[in-house]
Structure 1
Amino acid sequence: MQRISFGTSGWRGIVCDDFIFENVKVVTQAIADNVIAAGEKEKGVIVGYDSRFMGEQFANEAARVLTGAGIRTFLCTRDTPTPVIAFEILRRKAAGAINFTASHNPPEYNGIKFSPSWGGPALPETTRDIERRANEMLGEVCYKECDLDDARRDGKLVEIDPLQTYLDDLSTKVDFAAIARLGKVAVNPLYGTGRGYLAEPLRAHGVDVVVINEHRDPYFGGFPPEPSEKYIQDFINLVKSDPEIKLGIATDGDADRFGIVDEDGSFIEPNYIIALLLDYLVRVRGLKGGVARSVATSSLVDAVAAKHGIEVFETPVGFKYIGELISRDKIIIGGEESAGLTIKGHVPEKDGILACLLVAEMVAREGQPVRTLLERLYGQVGRFVTKRENITLAPEIEAVFADKLKATPAVIAGVKLKETVTIDGTKFLLEDGSWLLFRKSGTEPVVRLYAEAPSEERLKELLAAGRKLILE
């Protein structure tokens, strides 16, 4: 029997392989025991799900186990974005939430993500406790299930749809009046939970909107529900084909990640969006505080921070670390290169809905396309070009990979090594400001290679040096 293992965003598995009802009930009971041990049983737990296959059924099973453990359960009546569930935790002062989502993973996956009472993704000490409890119970009937009709009658089960309360709050954080002056906006929820959370509030505020992929499809059109350039070519073509469209905005399967397409159809990498929004929030909105980025995220963020004289917090990969800084009111904005961000005063969880709307506001108020704004920023702080590659390792290479990184090179691609950072993977900072990061996957023989340089030519040299270091 496979062990339950929580990664950076919960436990994920393939439906009908390891992600089965029995394992779901065991993990739910482990979460219930964690909540009870924390003395938060009376606060209740929210249960939500994304638009994947069997989402409602898995959520119902979790509700049966939670109510069977005597925990009041708030069950979402439709597929609900991850950031909206985080918002509802804080609004209700709940003990936490169980969210059935595999985010941007392919459609055969599902997952359980637990967020505790502070609203962000569970920190490692919490997930380790849940893992331990779940693995001790695997193969045993260790839970009591409550009939949902009985739970409703007794008040243990309350059905909710947090859409409107979230949108009401969002209207206090986004300048919809400015966006209405922008012109036509294209929206792509990628068949996921973002349906109704982007297009509808924009229309309600008088924005001219065109939408694609707005119906629920558990197969996500045959692609992973990831708003990256590779998987949204239909959307890019739409923006290119209509000269009236001023911006394209997209969210992933559970709407916690964003994708931005400029008015000419150019896909804008998330790294650059984080830096642009940091500059905008400080310069135009006048927000004060630090900025957080993961170790894999562009140093363009650092350059913008230096321009404004604000502190940079570098975190391991995993939004839980950034969310914790948001909850402690340490930062204006926090972001990851994998298209997650949130801002001061919002939920301590990545929010693709908010990110998309903030970009629309920025473009509207600045009166310039995204790429023009980026070139202007480059002119002020310097150019940064980033890229990530996944490299599959043969068994003999994987066996010696760790030793290769320990033998720190003095020079990489002709430039001296300045510093090595090891908070998550191994990151080599070079004297010309460029860097390489190597992060080994914990579940497969893959190394994630990240590089950043001041030019495309230099970036190619760095990536080639990185591949050579790994494979030779």
Structure 2
Amino acid sequence: MQINTVSTQPIDGQKPGTSGLRKQTSVFMQPHFLENFIQAIWTGIGGVAGKTLVLGGDGRHFNEQASQVVLRMAAAGGAAKVIVGQNALLSTPAASNLIRKRKADGGIILSASHNPGGPNGDFGVKYNTANGGPAPESVTSKIYEATKTLTEYQIVESQDIDLSTVGETKLGETVIEVVDPVTDYAELMADLFDFDAIKALFAGGFRMRFDAMHAVTGPYATAILEDTLGAAKGSVINAVPSTDFGGGHPDPNPIWTKPLVDEMFSETAPDFGAASDGDGDRNMILGRGIYVTPSDSLAAIAANATLAPAYAGGLAGVARSMPTSRALDRVADKLGIACFETPTGWKFFGNLLDAGKATLCGEESAGTGSDHVREKDGLWAVLFWLNILAKRGVSMQQLMAEHWAEYGRNFYSRHDYEGVDAEAANALMDDLRARLGTLAGTSPSGLEIESADEFAYDDPVDGSRTEAQGLRVHFADGARLVFRLSGTGTVGATLRVYMEALATDGFDRDPQEVLAPVIAAAEELAQIKARTGRDAPDVIT
């Protein structure tokens, strides 16, 4: 085996975000770009000699080529073993499960999650640690520092490894084990949920539609929902992964899954609808004639969690990201358990899950999960809902109506302004940040502001502090407004504005109508139109 040492130099723009490093695919395909970042990961984690890694991705353009690079660089670094999904495919939650089940030292996940794929789309690389979760900032900061001082990387010279056949081979002294990407994950789901109850639900004529969005979840959903649980053939649509996600946008929200939403609101709608994203960690939940927001989905799962076998003993606690609606808080209060509010980014849930302080957690951006892995998990959320519906014996509409009657409804919406000029977006945030201390007692658009601040998080497990995590405005009537700049885009800046208002009746109203005063207050406070030149959000969810 010949190991080549390749001279290189630092490349700007390789600072990992909340979910690894994401760039346009063409950037990752530039000479040395991927190799530099992988070498920086090896340096940041103290090398890979003697270690076992998990490797897989969502199948987007450049996934197979990038996998071969990672394998050759792992072998050059002296890795003992790399466990890789067949055809280089692994959903993000399945990768997390494999890391934990096989007691690997970490893993490389090749994905840009819900971002578009293809030659003109996006690509991403994320390192997960031995607990199966995204690397914490203590690790990503070391990786970033390594990117700034690289002068060379090592890579084995070899033919591509055959990743189409399950089994073991060797690259030098490194064992390459190709595994079926679905098997271990499917076994985990069977341990968590009442599959017999779900089978009976389908046997009784229950119909569902799952949109895999031409992404990695297709094989998982087909194997579990149709082949194992008995959902009718064709219940899973867009089930074959595609390098460009069928030309679509693999983000499970009502905008990008419009055909599914239209079907769920039609006269012939199935009983249940769902979708998942590019790498399988996000979800969208619908019933006949109803869209359930991710915030409400998280709250309803928490309220009904003991109906699933793995959670029958109750929840240790729950956690949500700060921008997520406070519907979960109300459930936690009634259950008498802690509800933690964290910054956006799944890595912040890791400490709470590892310490046993939280069992369920979720984000408004369609991510829901539990302590079964250390990633959000789209198909897990779908199976949890099926378990709940099978046990409750009610429709989605009835279940949510009963939930809101008991807890109230947090009407909620997120407005995304995508590809905004970064300088303009930062100026908007800086100006609003400077005025936070003067806002209490003022009444933009007739809503009295009770308090305003910039969210900072003190981790109750390790004592670390994370600052500058979003601007919050709390109104006297219980409404809330949050401004954040997202780190998941690859072009310009994405300004996200989150709005919620609590109601104790009138639950069937249009959220945008209920939230109209909060939306108007957001415009008055931030002057979004004047500063960004945008008359309306690009995406409303």
Normalized against structure 2, the TM-score is what? Answer: 0.81
Q: CA deviation at 1:419?
A: 5.3
CA distance 1:326–1:234, change in 2 (3 Å): same
Any idea what SS the aligned residue of 2:271 has?
Answer: strand
- Pair 1:464-2:520 in alignment: yes
Corresponding residue of 2:476 = 431
- Check the 8 A contact 2:126/2:134 in 1, yes or no: yes
Structure 2: how far apart are the matches of 1:331 and 1:364? 25
Corresponding residue of 1:314 = 341
- Check the 8 A contact 2:318/2:339 in 1, yes or no: yes
Whichever residue aligns with residue 25 of structure 1, its letter is E
Structure 1: how far apart are the matches of 2:425 and 2:27? 29
- Pair 1:328-2:338 in alignment: no
Structure 2: how far apart are the matches of 1:306 and 1:431? 20
- Check the 8 A contact 2:331/2:407 in 1, yes or no: yes
Corresponding residue of 2:327 = 300
Corresponding residue of 2:395 = 369
Equivalent position to 1:64, from 72, 75, 94: 72
Any idea what SS the aligned residue of 1:376 has?
Answer: helix
Q: CA RMSD in A?
A: 2.3
CA distance 1:395–1:328, change in 2 (3 Å): closer
Equivalent position to 1:422, from 455, 466, 474: 455
Structure 1: how far apart are the matches of 2:422 and 2:443? 23
Any stretches of 5+ residues in structure 1 without a counterpart?
A: none
Any idea what SS the aligned residue of 2:155 has?
Answer: coil
Structure 2: how far apart are the matches of 1:412 and 1:393? 29
Corresponding residue of 2:539 = none
Q: CA deviation at 1:21?
A: 5.4
Equivalent position to 2:427, from 392, 396, 399: 399
Corresponding residue of 2:277 = 252
Pairs within 5 Å for 1:204-223:
204-209=228-233, 210-223=235-248
Please give the per-residue CA displacement for 1:73-127, whole angstroms capped at 9, x wherever unaligned: 2222232100000000011111101111010001110100110111111111111
Any idea what SS the aligned residue of 1:229 has?
Answer: coil
* Structure holding more helix per residue: 1
Corresponding residue of 2:384 = 358
- Check the 8 A contact 1:21/1:61 in 2, yes or no: no
Q: CA deviation at 1:393?
A: 6.0
Please give the per-residue CA displacement for 1:361-392, whole angstroms capped at 9, x wherever unaligned: 11221122223212211111212101111244
Corresponding residue of 1:52 = 60
Q: CA deviation at 1:279?
A: 0.3
Structure 2: how far apart are the matches of 1:100 and 1:398? 29
Whichever residue aligns with residue 358 of structure 1, its letter is F
CA distance 1:220–1:46, change in 2 (3 Å): same
Corresponding residue of 2:182 = 163
Please give the per-residue CA displacement for 1:290-336, whole angstroms capped at 9, x wherever unaligned: 11000010101101111111111000000111133122221120000
CA distance 1:369–1:41, change in 2 (3 Å): farther
Any idea what SS the aligned residue of 1:159 has?
Answer: strand
Whichever residue aligns with residue 463 of structure 1, its letter is I
Q: CA deviation at 1:339?
A: 0.9
CA distance 1:361–1:315, change in 2 (3 Å): same
Whichever residue aligns with residue 519 of structure 2, its letter is L
Which has the higher mean CA deviation after the structures are superposed, 70-79 or 222-231? 70-79
- Pair 1:25-2:35 in alignment: yes
Normalized against structure 1, the TM-score is what? Answer: 0.92
Corresponding residue of 2:495 = 447
Structure 1: how far apart are the matches of 2:24 and 2:435? 37
- Percent identity for Structure 1 against Structure 2: 28
Count of aligned pairs = 466
Q: CA deviation at 1:162?
A: 3.8
Corresponding residue of 1:386 = 412
Structure 2: how far apart are the matches of 1:397 and 1:353? 35
Q: CA deviation at 1:33?
A: 2.2
- Pair 1:10-2:58 in alignment: no
Structure 2: how far apart are the matches of 1:432 and 1:81? 42
- Pair 1:224-2:254 in alignment: no
- Pair 1:177-2:196 in alignment: yes
Please give the per-residue CA displacement for 1:235-281, whole angstroms capped at 9, x wherever unaligned: 223444574721112111110001112123x3321111000000001
Structure 1: how far apart are the matches of 2:43 and 2:69? 16
Corresponding residue of 1:339 = 366
CA distance 1:253–1:281, change in 2 (3 Å): same
Q: CA deviation at 1:168?
A: 1.0
Structure 2: how far apart are the matches of 1:234 and 1:294? 29
- Check the 8 A contact 1:434/1:454 in 2, yes or no: yes
Q: CA deviation at 1:200?
A: 1.7
- Check the 8 A contact 1:390/1:447 in 2, yes or no: yes
Which has the higher mean CA deviation after the structures are superposed, 114-123 or 26-35? 26-35
CA distance 1:420–1:3, change in 2 (3 Å): closer
Structure 2: how far apart are the matches of 1:445 and 1:168? 40
Whichever residue aligns with residue 56 of structure 1, its letter is E
Equivalent position to 2:124, from 106, 111, 114: 111
Whichever residue aligns with residue 104 of structure 2, its letter is A
Any idea what SS the aligned residue of 1:157 has?
Answer: strand
Q: CA deviation at 1:464?
A: 1.2
Q: CA deviation at 1:199?
A: 2.4
Corresponding residue of 2:83 = 74
CA distance 1:178–1:130, change in 2 (3 Å): same
Q: CA deviation at 1:225?
A: 0.3
Please give the per-residue CA displacement for 1:131-156, whole angstroms capped at 9, x wherever unaligned: 1112322xx43223253669446443
Q: CA deviation at 1:217?
A: 1.8
Corresponding residue of 2:296 = 272
Corresponding residue of 2:102 = 92
Whichever residue aligns with residue 68 of structure 1, its letter is A
Structure 1: how far apart are the matches of 2:45 and 2:232? 45
